[in-house]
């Protein structure tokens, strides 16, 4: 089974010889890939859905990898004990759900060294949580699949300073790395915000006026990031 470009980019962040918790693993493709490619020694694949769990069990059985992949049914890190894993992957969920999963079981979260997080939406809210809760974003990568951008965040524990507010929306590492997809992502966001502004322009409520100004400011900040990338 070939991994999708998104899952492959996630796998590339997983350290060698790691013991991984893949939270919300669904199909189980990532655990199998990590074991088959000798990246991880052991993977615990979890999911809250019994249906997903049945898929994983079948897939892992068909690969003969039962001894290396532990499959557990449950909510987030509830089914992981402190120090049982050194790396966690939480991918393909909303940023707010990822933040809730990290926040709910502090003892487990604090015992993990490597965090590989891929929010489908609300990446800014997740980054805000990381900055405010003693995480350092070590690296980030963008992937585009089926016309959708995915942000992959690799973090560790440790305090980091938020240099500019826009870095919640556009990860600072993406700028420093000059991620090949960054310019396209920023232009996509600018077009989207102009479109929303066009739609709410004539709705004269306090909330829409506030939103209009907020988007206008965001566009300015995004254009500044574009200039920054172009000048470097
Ligand atoms: C879109 S799939 C992503 C699958 C895989 N991680 C990936 O990135 O391709 C999201 C999975 O997360 C599971 N999920 C949602 N909330 C969860 C939670 N609180 N704890 C564990 N799994 C959860 C869902 O059942 C679903 O299988």
- The answer as to whether 213 is a domain residue is yes
- The answer as to whether 190 is a domain residue is yes
Domain count, the chain: 2
Q: Does 40 lie in the same domain as 87?
A: yes
Q: Does 186 lie in the same domain as 79?
A: no
Residue nearest atom 2 of ligand 1, based on CA coordinates: 92
- The answer as to whether 75 is a domain residue is yes
What is the number of alpha carbons within 13 Å of residue 164 lying toward its C-beta?
A: 14
What range does the domain containing 149 cover? 5-162
Instruction: Determine phi and psi for 122, rounding to 5 degrees.
Output: 55, 40
Q: Does 201 lie in the same domain as 87?
A: no
- Best CA proximity match to 116, nearest among 105, 106, 101: 101
Mutate to test the pocket of ligand 1, among 22, 26, 100 (most ligand atoms within 8 A of CB): 26
Q: Does 193 lie in the same domain as 98?
A: no
Q: Ligand 1, residue 29: give the atom nearest the CA.
A: 9
Q: Is the CB of 23 under 6 A from ligand 1?
A: yes
Could you say which of 127, 162, 197 is where a domain stops?
162
Per-residue pLDDT of the chain (232 residues; tens, 9 = 90+): 689 999 999 999 999 999 999 999 999 999 999 999 999 999 999 999 999 999 999 999 999 999 999 999 999 999 999 999 999 999 999 999 999 999 999 999 999 999 999 999 999 999 999 999 999 999 999 999 999 999 999 999 999 999 999 999 999 999 999 999 999 999 999 999 999 999 998 888 999 999 999 999 999 999 999 999 988 7
Q: Is the CB of 93 under 6 A from ligand 1?
A: yes
Mapping DSSP onto H, E and C, the string for 158-175 reads: CCCCCCCHHHHCCCHHHH
Amino acid 231: pLDDT:
86
Amino acid 2: pLDDT:
81
- The answer as to whether 226 is a domain residue is yes
- The answer as to whether 170 is a domain residue is no
């Amino acid at each position: 089974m070939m991994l999708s470009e998104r899952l492959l980019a996630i796998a590339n962040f997983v350290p060698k010889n790691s013991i991984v918790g893949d939270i919300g693993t669904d199909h189980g493709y990532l655990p199998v890939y990590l074991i088959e490619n000798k990246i991880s020694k052991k993977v615990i694949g979890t999911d809250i859905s019994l249906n997903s769990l049945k898929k994983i069990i079948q897939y892992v059985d068909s690969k003969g990898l039962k001894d290396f992949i532990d499959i557990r049914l449950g909510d987030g890190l509830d089914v992981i004990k402190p120090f049982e894993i050194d790396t966690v992957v939480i991918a393909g969920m909303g940023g707010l759900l990822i933040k809730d999963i990290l926040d709910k079981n502090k003892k487990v979260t604090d015992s993990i060294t490597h965090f590989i997080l891929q929010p489908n939406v609300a990446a800014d809210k997740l980054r805000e949580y990381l900055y405010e809760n003693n995480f350092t974003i070590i690296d980030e990568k963008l992937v585009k699949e089926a016309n959708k951008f995915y942000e992959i965040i690799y973090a560790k524990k440790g305090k980091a300073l938020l240099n500019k507010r826009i870095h919640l929306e556009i990860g600072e590492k993406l700028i420093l790395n000059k991620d090949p997809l960054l310019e396209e992502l920023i232009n996509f966001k600018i077009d989207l915000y102009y479109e929303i502004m066009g739609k709410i322009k004539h709705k004269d409520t306090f909330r829409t006026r506030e939103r209009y100004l907020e988007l206008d400011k965001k566009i300015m900040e995004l254009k500044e990031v574009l200039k920054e990338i172009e000048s470097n």
